[in-house]
Structure 1
Amino acid sequence: MSQYRSLSLSGKEWVFKREEPFVSADDREQIKLLGEVAGANIWRDYVSDSFLYPDLFSGDVWVKKNIVDTCEWEQAWESDEESVPDMMLSHLENWGDDTRVYFCCHADLVLETTWAVFKRAWKAFLFLESDAVLVGKKKKQAIQFCEDGRLTLLMRPS
């Protein structure tokens, strides 16, 4: 069983092949869709062992309780500016460009890449499922892109 699935067979590859926001071929090669088991394990270990989808989260899930701050992502996403919102960069300032990150839409849709690639392609990722949670391997900081345009800055529990 492979750790990864084909992004093209998932029906999700189109978000990274759009003209706008543009994602380079080199970056697309570094965006991997985790296989069902690997994705479910990341979801369980980093996001929730009780809920398979973020819209089902109850108020006692760490993603709802461990909010450091919030800001808006939608205005930056709609602008011509390519960079991620400053508040997000500040919150994740200890993430190196080679930090392995997981964009967790739900237990069956988890994408893996590096922080450098995510920063360049963040607008494309947001064409995927709403309320996705971005976590870094072995990192305490996390963020959730909420459907209402808010970005919640989070701290994962120890």
Structure 2
Amino acid sequence: MSYLPLDQYQRKWIFTHQSMPVPAEDLEQIKPMSAQRAAQFWKDNISAQSPDSERLSSTDWPRKKECWRDEIDWMAEWESDEPDMPSAVLAHLDWQDDVTVYFCYEKYNIIETKWQIFKRHWKNFLFYDDGPILLARRRKETLWFHSDGKVKLGTHE
């Protein structure tokens, strides 16, 4: 099985929390990968040896300084009442709404969805902000969120 039903996802509450519930039609498009599929995706796209972003090696592309062009604050927008992502993030990721994106928390915890769903509910995804990396299918632009409220804007190999 490639995906877990959302009901079986250990962090389902981040999408159903009463303070920021995601509508049912959007929940259908939030697809946690099975552990096996997530591990393969992580190995192929982020790191062959490191299980999470805290332990990436200097040879993993996210640790290479040349991949990152800017770093901005995301926490202020996250804490505001406005739903929009930081404008610098939106400018960096000039993607069509139907682009498939992968929000990679760690080796066994990756969510696949569409860019429009991520943009609309980015605050839910960032309830866990311990180094997740956002990638998209056939796109080089990437984001790397940090728990200090910063997000790195860059490109990957």
| TM-score by shorter chain over 0.5 | yes
> 1:16 touches 1:124 (CA, 8 Å); kept in 2?
yes
Stretches of structure 1 lacking an aligned partner (at least 5 in a row): none
**Residue 77 (structure 1) shift:** 0.2
Q: Which residue of 1 aligns with 2:10?
A: 11
May I ask how many residue pairs the two structures share in their alignment? Answer: 155
Deviation of the 1:129 alpha carbon: 5.0
Q: Which runs of 4+ in 1 moved over 4 A?
A: none
How far did residue 100 of structure 1 move? 0.3
Q: Which aligned pairs between 1:6-155 and structure 2 lie closer than 5 A?
A: 6-65=5-64, 66-93=67-94, 95-155=95-155
Q: Give me the TM-score of the superposition, normalised by structure 1.
A: 0.93
Q: Deviations over 1:77-119 (max 9, x none)?
A: 00011011111111111x1100000000011000000000000
- Report the Cα distance in structure 1 between the residues aligned to 2:146 and 2:59, rounded to whole angstroms: 17
Can you give the 5+ residue segments of structure 2 that lack an aligned partner in the other structure? none
**Deviation, structure 1 residue 24:** 1.2
Aligned-pair CA distance for 1:59: 3.6
Alignment partners' CA distance in 1, 2:154 and 2:6: 28
Q: Check conservation: 2:129, 2:145, Cα contact below 8 A.
A: no
Percentage identity across aligned positions?
Answer: 34
Structure 2 CA distance for aligned equivalents of residues 154 and 59 of structure 1: 17
